[in-house]
Amino acid sequence: MISQTGIIRSFNIKDKTGLITCDLGGDIRFDAANINSACQPVSGSLVEFIMDDSASKLQAVNIRFI
């Protein structure tokens, strides 16, 4: 799997889900459980992640702040 980069566009604290705007274009959903850090996601944070298409919906996994 290839790592990609993007910026956290939004994060819903209540649902613990959010969106990352990919550098290559488009938005991808993520779940806070997939973040490799104790830090809370904040809009505008630069991240590196892997796209996982094994579930019914494409999502970001192995998210790391950079």
The per-residue pLDDT string of the chain (66 residues; one tens digit each, 9 = 90 and over) reads 789 999 999 999 999 999 999 998 999 999 999 999 888 899 999 999 999 988 778 899 999 999
Helix then strand then coil, in percent of the chain rounded to 5, is 5, 55, 40
- Of 25, 65, 24, the closest CA to residue 41 belongs to 65
Model pTM score: 0.90
Which domains are assigned to the chain?
Answer: 3-65 (2.40.50.140)
